[in-house]
Structure 1
Amino acid sequence: MLNKFLVAGRLTADPEVQTKGENRVCKFSIVCDRPKRKGEEKSETDFFSCTAWNNNADVIADWFGKGDMITLVGAVHINCYEKDGVKQSFTEVKVDEIHFSAKKKETVNSAGNTTNEDVPF
Structure 2
Amino acid sequence: MLGSIPLLIIPFILYNIGITGVIGEVGGTPWREELFSFQMMSGGVFTMTLGDALIVLALVLLFVEVIKSTRAARASILDHLLSTFVFIAFLVEFLLVKDAAHSVFFTLMVIALVDVLAGFSVSLRAAERDVSIEG
Is TM-score (shorter-chain normalized) higher than 0.5? no
Higher helix share: 2
TM-score range, shorter chain: under 0.3
TM-score by length of 2: 0.23
Higher strand proportion, which one?
1
